[in-house]
Amino acid sequence: AKVQRGNTVRLFDPSMQAAVSARARLVADLKEALPQDQLRLYLQPQFNAEGQVVGAEALLRWQHPGRGLVAPGQFIAVAEESELIVPIGRWVLATACEMLGRWQEQPHLRDVCLSVNVSARQFRQPDFAAQVAQCLDDAGARPHLLELELTESLVLENVVESIAKMHQLRTRGVRFAVDDFGTGYSSLAYLTRLPLHRLKIDRSFVLHLGERSSDDVVVQTILGMARNLELDVIAEGVETQQQRDFLGAHGCSTYQGYLFARPMPVEQFEEWMRARPA
Ligand code: C2E
Ligand code: CA
Ligand code: CA
Ligand code: CA
């Protein structure tokens, strides 16, 4: 091959070439994931202060024929860039709503809320609200059991449009949480304008609770702010009893993390719930 000067030389760098083709292979494989029925939802339980399961977060997994079970960190970004996130996100929503519909028939599951992660590109679809409404209707799911997790940056990107979309769904009963709260702009002004149900404190702040005073202050501030705005708070990534106790002492109401339970396949979650004392 002819070697040129300047930027084009990079094209001949073999490691770069390898990275490009690895990514292309990932995209090609990901295109097959939906038609080949390789996507799975895992569920991680959410607990109230009394230790009861009040909800679960749906977390995507990819059962790849060669690589095994792939975590979302490995493919969500690529799915976003390639727009594959749109059909994938729609599948997640439809599957989550079907689950809620199915749970209505089962006493030990009928009041469990389901939190679903929504990506920026998915939320930006003009008919996003209609898609969610359709999924709920098709499945016969109660809308207030569905919580959509949005990130701060997603909402802030186009505040006016975001608020309009959220209101459409909020009036039907769908709830909204700000995911990874504290990692973005954390502007009080926008919080009061959004039809939010709760804030989800990011794992990075929970990690050093009780050891790093700056994180203690951030978490106390978030909890105080939420109390004044009458928002619920859930903490993610709770791994130790000390973290749990600190959060509880400052008014956190709901917990999710390895201290309580790891994400598990849907059937395992249903079985686990059946075995729990009511
Ligand atoms: P996230 O929304 O912040 O989800 C929480 C992540 O923390 C999950 O990783 C969960 O398994 C993990 N986690 C939960 N408890 C603990 C803990 O105690 N300790 C530690 N170290 N980790 C904990 P996961 O399942 O790998 O998901 C990673 C990210 O992928 C999610 O972060 C979310 O942003 C994204 N994601 C997952 N499912 C979907 C989906 O259906 N759609 C979209 N758009 N994104 C998704
Ligand atoms: Ca989340
Ligand atoms: Ca999160
Ligand atoms: Ca997070």
List the chain pLDDT tens, one digit each, 278 residues. Answer: 445 555 555 566 778 888 888 889 999 999 999 999 999 999 999 999 999 999 999 999 999 999 999 999 999 999 999 999 999 999 999 999 999 999 999 999 999 999 999 999 999 999 999 999 999 999 999 999 999 999 988 888 888 999 999 999 999 999 999 998 888 766 667 788 899 999 999 999 999 998 888 889 999 999 999 999 999 999 999 999 999 999 999 999 999 999 999 999 999 999 999 999 77
Element (H, E) at 167: helix 159-170
Task: Using DSSP bridges, classify how beta strands 53-64 and 68-70 pair: parallel, antiparallel or unpaired.
Answer: antiparallel
pLDDT for 5 equals 55
Report the C-alpha gap between 64 and 103 in whole angstroms: 28
Residue of 81, 91, 117, 239 to test ligand 1 pocket, by largest number of atoms within 8 Å of CB: 117
| Ligand 1, CB cutoff 6 Å, lining residues | 44, 59-60, 71-73, 76, 89, 92, 117, 119, 179-180, 203, 236-239, 256-258, 263
Among 129, 160, 158, residue whose Cα is nearest residue 146:
129
Largest CA distance in the chain: 71
pLDDT for 7 equals 53
Q: Spell out the residues 6+ positions from residue 46 whose beta carbon is closer than 8 angstroms to its own.
A: 53, 54, 55, 56, 57, 113, 115, 234, 254, 255, 256
Report the C-alpha gap between 263 and 56 in whole angstroms: 9
Ligand 1, atom nearest to 85 Cα: 44
Burial class (CB in 10 A: 0-12, 13-18, 19+), 2: exposed
Among 138, 119, 125, 113, residue whose Cα is nearest residue 165:
125
CB contact at 8 A, 270 and 109: yes
Q: Spell out the residues 6+ positions from residue 137 whose beta carbon is closer than 8 angstroms to its own.
A: none
pLDDT for 187 equals 67
pLDDT for 1 equals 47
Burial class (CB in 10 A: 0-12, 13-18, 19+), 220: middle
Amino acid letter at 67?
Answer: R
Nearest CA residue ID for atom 21, ligand 1:
237
pTM score of the predicted model: 0.94
pLDDT for 254 equals 98
Distance 62 CA to ligand 2 centre (A): 17
